[in-house]
Chain A
Amino acid sequence: MSVFDKLVQWFSIILEPMQEFGSHAQNMNSIHSNAMQQFHNNINPLQENTILNGDLAKAINNSANDFIALDLQLSLAADELDKLASISADFQTAINRIMTAIDSAAAKIEGDSILTEITTDVDAAAVIEGGANPIADVAGIILTIIDGALVIDTLKDLGENVYETVKDLKQDLTDLAYAIDPPTPPEPKPIAKTPSWQNNPVSQQDLQTLQQTYGNLAHTPEQQQELDNALKGLLQKGLTPQQINSIMTKLQATGCSDEQILTFLGGLVREDPLYPNSPSASQIIGFINSTSGRKKYTLQKYVQQYSEFAQIPGANRLLERLIVSIQPGTNVEKDAGSKGYNYEWNWVLGHKDQIARIEDAAPNASGTKNEQAADIVMKSGPFTQGAVVDVKNFSWSKFDTKTDTYRPLTSSELRDNLKDTLKQVKRDITVYNSGGHKYPIVYCFDSHGGKDAVPQTVVDALYKQGVTYVMSSPPDKVYQPSPDVLKQMQEQQAQQQPAINNTSATKESIENIVGTLRKIATGGGETPQLPGPGPIALP
């Protein structure tokens, strides 16, 4: 057998699955295309059913800058229709490149003893037995080949050629994996605090009286437990039976369903490790009282709407923020705190079906206390991409008593505002994008009913800082960077690319690539779940 044939035989364990991938991909592509087509068919009803007041649906119909088409990049999703076919082509290219490399290496190698030596490292038959997961299989096989090839100095060039090929493939495989199922950003782990109110004693007589009075709200054993917990919690937080009666009377007067009222009560006695003692008894009473006599910010609105998104992790944090920000006498429209949380509340309500988490918190750099992280983390998937969303209700104007009108912020005020926001962007990048995958970072500003546009200086600065999309809503609108900034961003991307290529031959980056492939192959575990010899230490 010639050296060339020997090498081809040896590399058949990588070449054959690569060729097989084409047929796998054809089937997968067909299924994927059908799914994507169905997805497209479902888009309009999806939008209309999930966006508050149909604002987004209206925007989609009327504007070329709508949220779906631009912000969530359906165009990109549409490209994924051909992604598998493209991967198949990439594999064919890889095969061709490897064959060329083998040809070149064969010419340089005079004997075949060394090949015999390395083939003992690879159990080709076992490898070929795989096949349930073509993507993972190929990645695992490539890993084996790289490890094997690099052990042998004489095949270093060949190994590097394979490595280059694998690097391109790895990018495509990763893109494919994220395109099919983009992950949700991992949840940061805030420092947990112990609630003190849960240790407060409760008068059993008071509790029983309340349970009897409001027992009709519960229709199942689970609901009975919810009700008991809520009533007990309110007593433990320091509310008197009379105050609880007053709250219950107001809640029942909202006309909301028993289930909605129970859900809301559960939110009041939250057991969140972040700020477990909030809201306090006086804040709860203050909030309930503050809604009396209001036309827009009514108790009915909050009870009803909270029940719509209460199941999202972190929803009770948003309720807590809202409760402590709206107190008697608050002019919500003029109070920065309550205005901001109402805006976030409405945004969550409008996008609730696409949201994975609300009000993330993470320890600060020194680990001494918690800091607010993303307001909202979107679900995984091609539509929402696990985006990290921060909502802002900034006013781009301020009140001027001399003219009795609002006038634009000065340029220095705008800059100060920007500096504050850019600090948050940096934190978002640190918390969510320090790992391999870059989640989209979205900053969404209150348009105040479509009246306020985000100043272009703000838009440009945010894009330059690393924000993926700058938006305003309602209606949802995506802002584009100015041409100069766009050019700068493209140049930066172009500069980053060669830097990666220049270092690609180093062992460190080979190890990184192999590590990534290992993760793809193993689903993140240390040990590959694939047939074959397993990982071999790099030289």
Chain B
Amino acid sequence: MGDYIWLRFFLQTLEEFSNIERWQSFFAILQEKGYHLHSYDTGSDAIIPELQTAMQEQNNDFSIDADGPLEFRIDFHPEEGYLQFSIEAENQFPNDEQGFAAYQSWLELLKEMYSFLQPLIVYQFNESRYNIEREDILARTYLNWLYDIAIYSPPLVETIGRERLLSAPAWRVEAFDDGAVLLVPEEHYYLPIVHNYTVVATHLGFHVPEPSDE
């Protein structure tokens, strides 16, 4: 079936997309971790010139494949204001010990990427939930949707309530040095083992999915 999960990093400003030096540093971090980065469209390793051209032309269809300890793709969406990490969950996080370890390393990578990019929010896209957009984030509205993975920046943490977040009965809750909070409701490395979603959403006062008898 091949399900993919998408992690969106909403950057603080749209201008950041044009900061090529910053992207060079960002790519260098990934390369140091053993990732080979190449253009999705051309396969070329010379990603900086391609990125530069794409950003100048405001072409939002630029993507980079990252092959290394994990395999994922980075999509640049300057118009919408986010960077997206796409990973094929079924293959990267299979339902065994190796898959679980891979999922843990994925979370660690996301945390490091957060620390470098310092975005407004990181969250996992879900077509059945409301996927918060840039204007919502800036207005601090529609924050009451729970995602399978989320990292809230300090301003959003304050809006939601630090203690409320940190006391959530989630599988993982972690406070970052800068005040951000990582929230992963359940041990959900692709396929859930325990469903805490409703419990966590209720605790946070977020949207609680209606029970289903389908």
Contacts and interface: CB of A to CB of B under 8 A. Distances in A.
A423 B213 contact: no
A432 B166 CA distance: 49
Interface string A379-415: 0000000000011110101111110000001101001
Contact of B195 (A294, A330, A416, A420): A330
Contacts of B126: 336
B191 interface: yes
A396 to B, nearest CB: 9
Interface residues of B, number: 46
Interface string B160-190: 0000000000000000000000000000001
Contacts of B145: 401
A285 to B, nearest CB: 11
Which of A336, A371, A372, A423 neighbours the largest number of chain B CB atoms within 10 Å of its CB? A336
A412 B95 contact: no
A477 to B, nearest CB: 20
A278 B90 CA distance: 14
Which of A277, A402, A416 neighbours the largest number of chain B CB atoms within 10 Å of its CB? A416
A333 B73 contact: no
Interface string A308-339: 00000000000011001101111111111100
B75 A416 contact: yes
A539 interface: no
A420 B79 contact: no
Contacts of A400: 130
B195 A332 contact: no
Interface string B130-142: 1100000000001
Given A412-B77, A412-B80, A331 B1 contact: no
B96 A193 contact: yes
Contacts of B197: 329
A424 B213 contact: no
B47 to A, nearest CB: 16
A225 to B, nearest CB: 28
A282 B193 contact: yes
Contacts of A294: 213-214
A418 to B, nearest CB: 10
Given A401-B142, A419-B86, A420-B86, A333 B96 contact: no
A312 to B, nearest CB: 16
Contacts of A333: 212, 214
A399 B214 contact: no
B128 A334 contact: yes
A340 interface: yes
A297 B213 CA distance: 9
B40 A416 contact: no
Interface in B14-58: 40
A328 B96 CA distance: 21
Contacts of B84: 416
B1 A398 contact: no
Nearest to A196: B97
Contact of B1 (A280, A293, A330, A344): A344
B92 to A, nearest CB: 9
B79 A412 contact: yes
Contacts of B205: none
B191 A329 contact: no
Contacts of B88: 420, 423-424
B214 A375 contact: no
Given A395-B127, A400-B130, A415-B61, A420 B4 contact: yes
9 smallest beta-carbon distances between A and B, as pairs: A401-B130, A334-B128, A331-B212, A329-B195, A420-B4, A398-B127, A371-B91, A324-B191, A278-B95
Given A328-B195, A329-B211, 8 more contacts: A286-B194, A331-B209, A340-B3, A341-B1, A369-B98, A372-B1, A397-B127, A409-B127
Interface of B: 1-4, 6, 40, 60-61, 63, 73, 75, 77, 79-80, 84, 86, 88, 90-91, 94-96, 98, 126-131, 142, 145, 190-195, 197-198, 207, 209-214
5 contacts: A277-B96, A416-B75, A423-B73, A424-B2, A424-B88
Interface of A: 193, 275, 277-280, 282-283, 286, 293-297, 320-321, 324-325, 327-337, 340-341, 344, 364, 369-372, 375, 390-393, 395, 397-402, 409-410, 412, 415-416, 419-421, 423-424
